[in-house]
Amino acid sequence: MTDVILSVAGITKTFPGVRALADVSFDVRAGEVHALMGENGAGKSTLMKVLAGLYKPDAGTITLRDEPVTITSPLVAREKGILLIHQELSLSPELSVAENIYLGAWPTNALGMLNKRKLRADAKAALDALGCDFGPDVRVGTLSIARQQMVEIARAQAFNADVVIFDEPTASLTDGERRQLFATIARLKSAGVGIVYISHKMDEIFEITDRITVLRDGQVQGTRITADTDLAGITRMMIGRDLASYFHRAREDFRDEVLRVEGLTHASLFSGVDLSVRAGEVLGLYGLVGAGRSELVETIFGLRHADAGRLIWKGQEIPFPTPRQAVDLGMALVPESRKEQGLVLGMGGRENVTLPHLAMFSSAGVMDRGREREVFDTYRDILDIKTTGPEQPVEKLSGGNQQKFVLAKWLCAAPSLIILDEPTRGIDVGSKSAIHELIAKLAEDGLAVIVISSEMPEVLGVSHRILTMTEGRISGSFTGDGMTEQALIDAVSQPANRAVQEDIA
Amino acid sequence: MTALTSRMRGTTADWLLRNHIWLFLALAVAVFSMASPYFLTVNNLGNVLTQAAFIGILAVGMTMVMINGEIDLSVGATLALASALAIGLQPAIGVWPAVFVGFLSGVALGALNGTLVALSGMHSFIVTLGGLIGIRGLVFVYTGEEALMVEDFAYTDIPEVYLGPLSLTAMIFLALAALFQWVLTSTRHGRETYAVGDNIAAAHDAGIRIKRHKIINFTICGALAAIAGILLSMRLGTAEPNAGRIWELWTIIAVVLGGTRLAGGYGSMWMTVGGILTLAVLRNGLRLLNTPNYVELMVMGSVLILALGLDRVLAARKGAA
Amino acid sequence: MTIDWQQALRRHGLIAAFGLFLAAVAVGAEGFLTLGNILDVLRQVSITGTIALGVTFVVVTGRLDLSVGSMLTLLTVIVVDQHNAVGPFGAIALTLLAGLGIGAVNGVLVGLFRLNALIVTLAMLSLLQGVTLWYSGGSNVNVAGAGETWFAVFGRGSLLGVPVPVLIFLGGAVVASFFLKRTTFGRAVHAVGGNETASRFSGIATARTVAAAYVVSGLATAIAAIIMGSRVMGAQNTIGQGYELTVLAGIILGGTSLMGGSGSIWRTVIGITMLGFIQNGLLLLGFEYYVQWLVSWVVIIAAVWLDLAAKRGRVLA
């Protein structure tokens, strides 16, 4: 076809322990929005980083406007006409909008002086073409996230990009900002730009994309024309197996309530949250990125300060704890980001496992290495962790094994409540199902379990009860047969009426 | 209506956050003007500026390096070496060639620091800490631990040029500050210096040549340290092997007090000039009031911690708004 | 096989070079590798070494303490002056208390208020200089009746032929190493330096851990000040100037990373002692004392670069 701008064929990329992409092929046409979908860890972000020159593929070819290209760096990608718009924006907050648009390619005269007039005029032209409501001289750091994103998109305009890749662009945007972004995408589209659009939000995908390619476990499951498919079809391609057989839900044997929070409020993050969880119960917390789920559990665990609310622990109201007190009470939080929040990467497994319980593994302040070794050995066997020994720095391990160490460090002190925030993000399928089985086993052993996930099949598969969270509020509660994909989607994508009303008032 | 006032409040906080140094300076000037009749005189202010100029010139170079996201601890030692060479070589090769060699030593050492930082990936704190120790060693080896005295005292007349109350030294300081402010705002090198310090990953992805900018900025810093050293040797007529000791610390204090961010990406020469002037006014004012010199040291330390605290508070308030 | 050699050279190149240096000096200067000289070197490094033991805790948390030089000056002035006022016991107690107090101030500012460690301790460097001048009135202080007091034992005494300051330094190293390696506090120090967020998520009191590390640094400096006061039997207002940099140089040379999370007491002892041997060896070879600074420059850069290269597996970035 002549209007294909970008085509990739046979891309393979392997990381130690994980095959991230296996023989991936797909193409993007001029003036099309092409969605790239898949669960976390399916290979979307790896593919996009290959296209942007951040990763070098092990095999495969990339063809741009009928010419094979080798993309060795983001700079080369930009020169060839491919622009990636990350979730983490690639901007210098202290520089002006104009300077950011042309970062690394500023017009200068022979003396190395900046041609500010040209820089400004060019930038203004790019901004105007996109209909931006801010000028080229504003300092980027003072702009909202949505406007900062527009600055990145203006780069595409300025460098005449052929292909623009959006990675979860609406993750931290309000509804109004999202509309503006879609209008901008429409403009790019009508200018003949090929757009790759990565998002977890099904409603967006069906609204703005022309075709959908689904990845699973690093392989392309197929490409569909958006108009000819539906939610169920895409979901089936993404998950690729029967939910019921894949997930193992814990036997229902609920005992006493372990944790209840009432009216929990944090001024800027969430408000009026009520939730409770019983021993033996798995409570799912579903919501989009940025809905305030992680912040909520971090507040319960004492990592953030609560502005209002009550905390009832095993039937008794207690003041909000410090993290230390939370651990001592018997709470455990397996955080979202294991590399940043979960592990001290330079330490070995032994030291990571005992880190929350130094007092328990010591006497008179002196660490008892023998017992540390014992608990390390115990959990290495229980969780089947692949490591060369207790002192091997955990940074050398695969994501799945790292996550098992994070679990081990919380399980070894026999907590009453375990909160798992995105427990299977970015790990391979084998480890995933091991962790799902573990969740069921923990509940059957009498722990109260809260699972936060943005993977719908996961949250549907493991939970007894599901709360949905939207913009800092609990927007729905589902049990039994009420727990369906459609119900959750409806609950999290309700327009935030209340917020709109407040704006008017 | 509410939105408008809150925006205005936002800008005030923002302005304060970015320019608190001028507030400090105005406060210090006001206090000392009231406390001492000798303070607010043209002569005294001229003196303040001249005294401030040496560390000021170091601070101009330090600002370039710091905006780039690095630090240079070796400036005091580089100053001493340049001053020793400028005086020590005079009998052998003549006054101006000696001055030139002194200048070149600073350029070379700066380039060495920059190259080591760029090529090795070591943190500049370590590289220039090594430089501080080693260059001081060079000074001692060269001088044999003796103060070098200039033979022809005409040398000390060179900086005795005044424009009103402004000495040549002070003018050089202000001119260099203006020059490098221009470099920072109007040249590609200057703007890319900010870009590298602000978000090194973004700069790298955009194809900015990070190493080149670092080497250039360390070279500028070394060259300016040498200029300060040469001016100091002209003023004193001697070159002390211990000249400029712990000046690197005062330089860093002045630059940070001015508001330039230690982590890079943010700052300006004007802020640095503000920081230098504030320190100099404090020092001068306290001396005019005949306070013992320990008060000066304590006040400087406290002011720095206060500035840091204020910065934190303002940043937090801005974040909350 | 060649690769193995390269690996070995990268890993142990510095120690090999140091060994060559020791051998060369031993050939060139008689009496270098004698027990007497080795003890002499250790005696010379005992003050920097003792401070470095404490600063190592701070560095492992990923922070710096540049105030130790000024602190050493102030505490030495205090111990000498108070010796004349309240006698040796009281003087030692007051000095230790003062060291803990100053460390606590640093700790509160850096740990609890989360201010930048470099700037805070720089400010303290200046502030403590001021306090010293205020306290001493600008004049030197001397121990009255230096000949009689048992206070002399810390700097000048020896036990079974080993100088007491060496015993304090090495004994302190054993204790510090025990604390850093074997106790819950030491584990927390490593964890905070390795990943502060993960430590917080594990219930570690990170602010208090950092603050405590500064208190340890203050305590070590106080002990060093007692050695210093006892050795000199007096104190000038500049006696500790520049110590903060020598201490850091030794720690860095030992291979402890300024990024935090790694490092150990024995590395610090080796780094500081190496600097001592370089100084001593060059002196014995007839060089002026300041030549050691040139050599230290080269050695520090080479050591850190090699270390970095070994971790990355290649020499150039």
Question: Do residue B187 and residue A114 have CB atoms under 8 angstroms apart?
Answer: yes
| Summary mean pLDDT of chain A | 87
Domain span at residue C21 reads 17-312
Alpha-carbon distance B277 to B56, whole Å?
Answer: 9
Alpha-carbon distance B11 to B5, whole Å?
Answer: 10
CATH tag for A4-243 (out of 3.40.190.10, 3.40.630.10, 3.30.70.20, 3.40.50.300): 3.40.50.300
> How do residues A194-227 score in pLDDT, each as one tens digit?
999 988 777 788 889 999 999 888 889 889 999 9
> How do residues C241-261 score in pLDDT, each as one tens digit?
889 989 999 998 888 888 888
> How do residues A8-63 score in pLDDT, each as one tens digit?
999 999 876 677 888 999 999 999 999 998 876 678 888 988 998 888 899 999 99
- Kind and range of the H or E element at A148? helix A145-158
pLDDT of the residue at C315: 41
Q: Name which of C188, C194, C197 is nearest A358 (Cβ-Cβ).
A: C188
Q: How far is C118 from chain B (nearest CA, A)?
A: 9
In a domain, C4, yes or no: no
Domain total of chain C: 1
Among all residues of chain A, which has the CA nearest to that of C190? A347
Report yes or no: C300 at the B interface, CB cutoff 8 Å. yes
The residue among A351, A358, A372, A411 with the most chain C CBs within 10 A of its CB, best to mutate, is: A358
Q: What is the CATH number of domain A244-330+415-504?
A: 3.40.50.300
Among all residues of chain C, which has the CA nearest to that of A407? C202
In a domain, C253, yes or no: yes
Question: Do residue A342 and residue C198 have CB atoms under 8 angstroms apart?
Answer: yes
Question: Do residue C293 and residue B256 have CB atoms under 8 angstroms apart?
Answer: no
Question: Do residue B129 and residue C300 have CB atoms under 8 angstroms apart?
Answer: yes
Q: Is residue C139 packed enough to be buried (19+ CB in 10 Å), middle (13-18) or exposed (0-12)?
A: exposed
Residue with tokens 């190592």: C56
Residue C185: list chain A partners with CB under 8 A. Answer: 365
Residue C130: list chain B partners with CB under 8 A. Answer: 293-301
Nearest Cα to Cα of residue C81 among C126, C128, C137: C137
> How do residues C158-185 score in pLDDT, each as one tens digit?
898 899 999 999 999 999 999 999 999 9
The count of C-alpha atoms lying within 13 angstroms of the C-alpha of A385, restricted to the half-sphere facing its C-beta, is 31
The residue among C71, C108, C113, C127 with the most chain B CBs within 10 A of its CB, best to mutate, is: C127
Q: Which long-range contacts (CB under 8 A, 24 or more apart) does A432-439 make?
A: A432/A41, A432/A400, A433/A246, A434/A383, A434/A384, A434/A400, A434/A404, A435/A403, A435/A404, A435/A407, A436/A246, A436/A247, A436/A248, A436/A461, A436/A462, A437/A248, A438/A383, A438/A407, A439/A250, A439/A282
Among all residues of chain B, which has the CA nearest to that of C125? B301
Q: What is the DSSP string of chain C?
A: -HHHHHHHHHHHHHHHHHHHHHHHHHHHSTTTTSHHHHHHHHHHHHHHHHHHHHHHHHHHTT-----HHHHHHHHHHHHHHHHHHHHHHHHHHHHHHHHHHHHHHHHIIIIIS---HHHHHHHHHHHHHHHHHHHHTTS-EE-TTTTT-GGGHHHH-EETTEEHHHHHHHHHHHHHHHHHHHBHHHHHHHHHHH-HHHHHHTT--HHHHHHHHHHHHHHHHHHHHHHHHHHHSEE-TTTTTTHHHHHHHHHHHTT--TTSS---HHHHHHHHHHHHHHHHHHHHTT--TTHHHHHHHHHHHHHHHHHHHHHHTSS--
In a domain, C3, yes or no: no
pLDDT of the residue at B37: 87
Residues 209-238 of B with CB under 8 A from A: none
CATH number at C59 reads 1.10.3470
Report yes or no: C112 at the B interface, CB cutoff 8 Å. no
- The one-letter code for the residue type at A212 is I
Question: Do residue A108 and residue B206 have CB atoms under 8 angstroms apart?
Answer: no
**What average pLDDT score do residues A377-393 get?**
91
Q: How many CB atoms lie within 10 A of CB C118?
A: 18
Residue C252: list chain B partners with CB under 8 A. Answer: 126, 129
Q: Name which of C182, C198, C205 is nearest A367 (Cβ-Cβ).
A: C182
Q: How many CB atoms lie within 10 A of CB B240?
A: 18
Residue A158: list chain B partners with CB under 8 A. Answer: none
pLDDT of the residue at C12: 63
Among all residues of chain C, which has the CA nearest to that of A299? C201
Question: Do residue B246 and residue C241 have CB atoms under 8 angstroms apart?
Answer: yes
Q: Could you tell me if the ipTM is greater than 0.90? A: no
pLDDT of the residue at B315: 66
pLDDT of the residue at B4: 40
Residue C201: list chain A partners with CB under 8 A. Answer: 303, 323, 333, 335, 341-342
Interface partners of B (3+ CB pairs, < 8 Å)?
A: A, C
The residue among A355, A360, A371 with the most chain C CBs within 10 A of its CB, best to mutate, is: A355
Alpha-carbon distance C279 to A406, whole Å?
Answer: 48
Going from N- to C-terminal start, the domains of chain A cover 4-243, 244-330+415-504, 341-414
Query: ∠ CA(A390), CA(A392), CA(A396), 5° rounding?
Result: 140
Residue B123: list chain C partners with CB under 8 A. Answer: 258-259
In sequence order, the 6+-apart residues with CB closer than 8 A to the CB of A111 are B187
Question: Do residue C258 and residue B125 have CB atoms under 8 angstroms apart?
Answer: yes
> How do residues A225-237 score in pLDDT, each as one tens digit?
999 988 778 877 8
In a domain, C317, yes or no: no
Low-confidence ranges of chain B (pLDDT < 70): 1-14, 16-17, 314-321
In a domain, C7, yes or no: no
> How do residues C185-233 score in pLDDT, each as one tens digit?
999 999 999 999 999 999 999 999 999 999 999 999 999 999 999 999 9
Task: Let me know: does A264 contact A306? Beta carbons within 8 Å.
Answer: yes
Report yes or no: B245 at the A interface, CB cutoff 8 Å. no
CA C157 to chain centre: 21
Q: Name which of C130, C297, C305 is nearest B294 (Cβ-Cβ).
A: C130
Alpha-carbon distance A161 to A77, whole Å?
Answer: 9
Token representation of residue C245: 């940099």
**What average pLDDT score do residues A67-89 get?**
86
A82: pLDDT confidence band, cut at 50, 70 and 90?
Answer: very high
Judged by average pLDDT, the poorest of A259-273, A371-385, C139-153 is C139-153
Q: How many CB atoms lie within 10 A of CB C161?
A: 8
Residue B122: list chain C partners with CB under 8 A. Answer: 301, 304-305, 308
Token representation of residue B80: 């001493």
Task: Let me know: does C74 contact C128? Beta carbons within 8 Å.
Answer: yes
In sequence order, the 6+-apart residues with CB closer than 8 A to the CB of A158 are A101, A102, A122, A123, A126
Question: Do residue A355 and residue C187 have CB atoms under 8 angstroms apart?
Answer: yes
A168: pLDDT confidence band, cut at 50, 70 and 90?
Answer: confident
Using CA atoms, how far residue A18 sits from A8, A41, A74, in Å, is 21, 10, 24
Q: Name which of A103, A116, A142 is nearest B202 (Cβ-Cβ).
A: A103
Q: What is the DSSP string of A407-456?
A: HHHHHTT--SEEEEESTTTT--HHHHHHHHHHHHHHHHTT-EEEEEES-H
pTM of the model: 0.87
Nearest Cα to Cα of residue C114 among B309, B211, B32, A318: B309
Residue A409: list chain C partners with CB under 8 A. Answer: 202
Residue with tokens 């730009």: A193
Question: Do residue A90 and residue B198 have CB atoms under 8 angstroms apart?
Answer: no
Nearest Cα to Cα of residue A165 among A96, A230, A89, A84: A84
The residue among B117, B120, B251, B303 with the most chain C CBs within 10 A of its CB, best to mutate, is: B120
Provide the greatest CA pair distance for chain C: 68
Task: Let me know: does A33 contact A189? Beta carbons within 8 Å.
Answer: yes
Alpha-carbon distance B220 to B224, whole Å?
Answer: 6
Task: Let me know: does C247 contact C68? Beta carbons within 8 Å.
Answer: yes
Question: Do residue C252 and residue B129 have CB atoms under 8 angstroms apart?
Answer: yes
Token representation of residue A42: 């399916």
Among all residues of chain B, which has the CA nearest to that of A88? B202
Reply yes or no on whether the pLDDT at A497 is more than 50: no
Q: Name which of C182, C194, C202 is nearest A356 (Cβ-Cβ).
A: C202
Residue A328: list chain C partners with CB under 8 A. Answer: 203
The residue among B116, B129, B136 with the most chain C CBs within 10 A of its CB, best to mutate, is: B129
Nearest Cα to Cα of residue C272 among C286, C255, C290: C255
Question: Do residue A90 and residue B195 have CB atoms under 8 angstroms apart?
Answer: no
Q: DSSP state, A342?
A: I
C8: pLDDT confidence band, cut at 50, 70 and 90?
Answer: low
Residue A106: list chain B partners with CB under 8 A. Answer: 188, 191-192
Q: How far is B253 from chain A (nearest CA, A)?
A: 22
Using CA atoms, how far residue B192 sits from A101, A116, B69, B188, in Å, is 13, 14, 12, 6
Question: Do residue A323 and residue C203 have CB atoms under 8 angstroms apart?
Answer: yes
Domains in chain B, please, with CATH? 21-320 (1.10.3470)
Reply yes or no on whether the pLDDT at A492 is more than 50: yes
pLDDT of the residue at A170: 80
Report yes or no: C191 at the B interface, CB cutoff 8 Å. no
Nearest Cα to Cα of residue A98 among A83, A79, A118, A113: A118
Helices B210-236 and B188-198, axial angle in degrees (round to 10)? 110
Reply yes or no on whether the pLDDT at A174 is more than 90: no
In a domain, C6, yes or no: no
Residues 348-367 of A with CB under 8 A from C: 351, 355-356, 358-359, 362, 365-367
Residues on C contacting A at a C-beta cutoff of 8 Å: 182-185, 187-188, 190-191, 194-195, 197-205, 261-262
CB pairs under 8 A between A and B: 68
Token representation of residue A374: 């014992």
